Amino acid sequence: YSLWLGGQPAMRRAALRRAALALAAAVAGAKPRMKHGKPYPETKAECGVIMIGTGDYYLRYSARNAQRIAALAVGSGWCAAQPDLDHIPVVYFHDNTKAEALVRKGLSGAEPRFELFYLGTRANPTMAKFEALPTQRRWARDYKWLRPQTFARSPFRTTLNMDGDAVPCGARLVEAFRAFTRSQAAVAGLWHVEAKYSGLNTGFMAWDRDKAKSLLAAWADGMRRAILANGTVNHDQQTFAAALGATRGVSVLRFSEANVCRVCHRADKTSHCASTCPSDSCWVDHRDWGPKYNKAGIDGIAKVDGQSKWKLSPG
């Protein structure tokens, strides 16, 4: 084709150079195009909750819990770094290409109030600076690798991780943020003592992005070494406990069992749990719901505050 620029070759070449430079600048400044999302969550909030899910069944039902957390009317003043924040931002990390449809089904067609963020696959992550699974071998619980990676890349300055079965006790949930901020600790959670380790329960854990940076890096390193040495890793809490013990200068706040409630102390005559949150001191109900908690629990709990039909475990 011909380009009319007054018939002057020099002007024509200059115009072409300017066009080429403009195109190069536009390409360089453009954000990566990804089928399922972006390299980093969109939220700009200073405080918030992250959740992680992978399987179809888990995503569908835990989405209800994410929705419940994001819908809580908590008022302002709970986030020290952003005092005017009047809700709890939630980012749900996942690696499931069907997540949007599963969430819609789980929420019965309602619009999600939380940010659904696609990580990419474990072998080929698309999130910025996310490390791929350190082996090509796959196993049933290799999703545990996602935890230290997502914790380290949380978009929030102050983050609270919540498992899908960690059910918030209404607006009291923000008391976890307040207690953590007052403590000035790097990380906080309920302390567990098990046969093989003792340490924080990562299923309901808060941390400061800057203060916990070295700890989270050590956790990822430890899990990587365990995978390369053993071929698998089926738990994340042991490697986190080891990292906590080996990382100097990391202050820890131990949450109270009166606030992170893991046992139902009351039951009605039919041997069911009388309440989702058995005490007014509970910030969260994080008991072991059993293998069917997703369908029987989160589905019902997300709809009805304070009333559920959980059977107590024998003994």
For residues 162 and 307, the model is more confident at 162
- Which range scores top for mean pLDDT: 174-178, 277-281, 301-305? 174-178
Q: Please tell me the pTM assigned to this model.
A: 0.81
The angle that helices 99-106 and 56-71 make with each other, rounded to 10 degrees, is 60
Is the distance from CB of 213 to CB of 277 less than 8 angstroms? no
C-alpha angle 77/83/86, rounded to 5°?
65
Six token digits for residue 242: 């080891």
Average pLDDT, the chain: 82
- Looking at the predicted structure, is the pLDDT value of residue 304 above 90? no
Best CA proximity match to 237, nearest among 206, 181, 192: 192
Place of tokens 């390299």: 39
What's the per-residue H, E or C state across the chain? CCCCCCCCHHHHHHHHHHHHHHHHHHHHHCCCCCCCCCCCCCCCCCEEEEEEECCHHHHHHHHHHHHHHHHCCCCCCCCCCCCCCCCCCEEEEECCCCHHHHHHHHCCCCCCCCEEEECECCCCECCCCCCCCCCCCCCCCHHHHHHHHHHHCCCCCEEEEECCCCEECHHHHHHHHHHHHHHCCCEEEEEEECCCCEEEEEEEEEEECCCCHHHHHHHHHHHHHHHHHHCCCCCCHHHHHHHHHHCCCCCEEEECCCCEECCCCCECCCCEECCCCCCCCCCEECCCCCCCHHHHHHHHHCCCCCCCCCECCCC
- Looking at the predicted structure, is the pLDDT value of residue 53 above 60? yes
Q: Residue 269 has what pLDDT?
A: 41
Q: Residue 297 has what pLDDT?
A: 45
Q: Residue 294 has what pLDDT?
A: 39
Six token digits for residue 145: 């690798």
- R_g of the chain computed on alpha carbons: 23
User: 172 exposed, middle or buried (CB, 10 Å; 0-12, 13-18, 19+)?
Assistant: middle
Please state which of the ranges 1-10, 211-220, 249-258 shows the lowest mean pLDDT: 1-10
Q: CA-to-CA distance for 23 and 240, rounded, in angstroms? A: 47
Q: Residue 288 has what pLDDT?
A: 67
Six token digits for residue 311: 């059977």
- Looking at the predicted structure, is the pLDDT value of residue 222 above 80? yes
Q: Where does the pLDDT of residue 275 fall: very low under 50, low under 70, confident under 90, or very high at 90 and above?
A: low
Is the distance from CB of 102 to CB of 56 less than 8 angstroms? yes
The angle that helices 237-246 and 213-230 make with each other, rounded to 10 degrees, is 130
- Looking at the predicted structure, is the pLDDT value of residue 100 above 70? yes
Q: Residue 22 has what pLDDT?
A: 53
Is the distance from CB of 264 to CB of 276 less than 8 angstroms? no
Across residues 260-265, what is the average pLDDT? 75
- Looking at the predicted structure, is the pLDDT value of residue 230 above 60? yes
Across residues 193-208, what is the average pLDDT? 89
